[in-house]
């Protein structure tokens, strides 16, 4: 008997509403496609409307009855995050919020509010959007981490990267922040007697558009290495388990079960002691409120 969760384990989702950020490509697209095929209404929250509509067409080509809608969302602009949250709060309630959107090792770039892009999008944008819409979410809030969090360190001293920029270090920090946020969010939801739970996941090493900023020699080697890594569809298995798995609990962290958590079916993943540190998480929570101007009220 096989162990571990795959897309085949996603049961019927008819009557349920999911909002998936960054759903136009990669793992977000594969997640949205499976959920829609199982009968869910999926809201694709994306920056680019044309890309979102193209993704919807591709989903409908495989699932003609799919219930899909588009929500503009640019996590690199906190003003647009607020606009998106306002629109979500004015609409039907959401069963599951899947925070999937992110950026990985881009050239030095700043968000509209002047934060380094990876910390600004991967954590601050996600924190702000979740902080605004969580009262509208009934079941689960999924936050996407990475095995890269294991090398991450929180450093608030230069959030605009004015003194220097190392793309991997900034990515690792943003992914550590994602897990600190997830664990702290679940603790606070529980303390507030909410039935909504926060759950973390990571895709292992999946070949998606996130790799477009890899150095050229590594990009050329990617097709040769593909047998050793997850496809986007397999990389979505932990996200799908976090969003729909029957035995998942708040505060769980899920990822591939293969060697090094790189590939394989989904199941329990390992988060570092630092990622689980409540003191670090409380500090990040408070600083995130100060930086975004969003207080989740938990």
C-alpha atoms less than 13 angstroms from C-alpha of 162 in its C-beta half-sphere = 7
Segment 170-181 mean pLDDT:
98
The two three-digit tokens of residue 114, written as one number: 């002047």
Question: Which strand ranges, in their side-by-side order, compose the sheet holding 197-201?
Answer: 67-72, 41-46, 17-21, 94-99, 137-144, 197-201, 253-256, 266-268
pLDDT at 1 over 60: no
Q: Is residue 5 part of a domain?
A: no
Structural domain includes residue 298: no
Question: Is 235 inside a domain boundary?
Answer: yes
Rg (CA), the chain: 18
In a domain, 173, yes or no: yes
CA distance to 17, 23, 104, 136, 139, per residue, from 82 (Å): 21, 19, 23, 14, 22
> Which residues, listed in sequence order, are joined to residue 144 by a DSSP beta bridge?
201
Residue 4 lies in a domain: no
Reported confidence tier of residue 119, pLDDT bands at 50, 70, 90: very high
171 part of the active site: yes
In the chain, the number of structural domains is 1
Is residue 21 situated within a structural domain? yes
Domain extent for 236: 12-292
Residue 115 lies in a domain: yes
- For position 207, what pLDDT does the model report? 73
Model confidence pLDDT, tens digit, residues 180-234: 999 999 999 999 999 999 999 999 987 755 444 445 444 444 444 445 567 899 9
Q: What is the pTM of this model?
A: 0.93
User: Which CATH number covers residue 251?
Assistant: 3.40.50.720
| Segment 229-248, tens digit of pLDDT | 678 999 999 999 999 999 99
| 12 C-beta neighbours (distance < 10 Å), count | 10
The arithmetic mean of pLDDT across residues 24-34, rounded, is: 97
If you average pLDDT over every residue of the chain, what do you get? 93
* Active-site choice (156, 165, 171, 253): 171
For 270-293, write each residue's pLDDT tens digit: 999 999 999 999 999 999 999 999
Q: What is the dihedral of CA 169, 270, 238, 20, to 10 degrees?
A: -50
């Amino acid at each position: 008997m096989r162990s571990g969760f795959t897309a085949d384990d996603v049961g019927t989702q008819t009557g349920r509403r999911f909002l998936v950020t960054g759903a136009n490509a990669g793992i977000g697209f594969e997640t949205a496609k499976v959920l829609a095929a199982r009968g869910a209404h999926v809201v694709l929250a994306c920056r680019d409307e044309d890309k979102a509509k193209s993704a919807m067409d591709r989903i409908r080509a495989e699932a003609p009855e799919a219930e899909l809608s588009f929500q503009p969302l640019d996590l690199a602009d906190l003003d647009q995050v607020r606009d998106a949250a306002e629109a979500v709060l004015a609409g039907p309630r959401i069963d599951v919020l899947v925070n999937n959107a992110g950026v990985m090792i881009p050239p030095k770039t700043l968000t509209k509010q002047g934060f380094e892009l990876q910390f600004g999008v991967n954590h601050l944008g996600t924190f702000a959007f979740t902080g605004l819409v969580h009262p509208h979410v009934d079941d689960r809030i999924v936050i996407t981490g990475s095995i890269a969090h294991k090398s991450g360190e929180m450093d608030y001293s230069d959030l605009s990267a004015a003194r220097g920029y190392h793309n991997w270090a900034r990515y690792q920090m943003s992914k550590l922040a994602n897990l600190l946020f997830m664990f702290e969010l679940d603790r606070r939801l529980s303390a507030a007697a909410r039935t909504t739970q926060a759950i973390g996941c990571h895709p292992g090493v999946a070949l998606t558009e996130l790799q477009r900023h890899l150095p050229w020699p590594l990009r050329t080697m990617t097709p040769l290495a593909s047998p050793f890594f997850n496809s986007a569809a397999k990389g979505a298995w932990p996200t799908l388990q976090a969003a729909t798995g029957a035995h998942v609990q708040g505060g769980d962290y899920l990822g591939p079960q293969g060697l090094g958590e790189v590939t394989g079916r989904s199941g329990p993943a390992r988060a570092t002691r630092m990622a689980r540190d409540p003191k670090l998480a409380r500090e990040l929570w408070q600083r995130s409120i100060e930086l975004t101007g969003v207080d989740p009220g938990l």
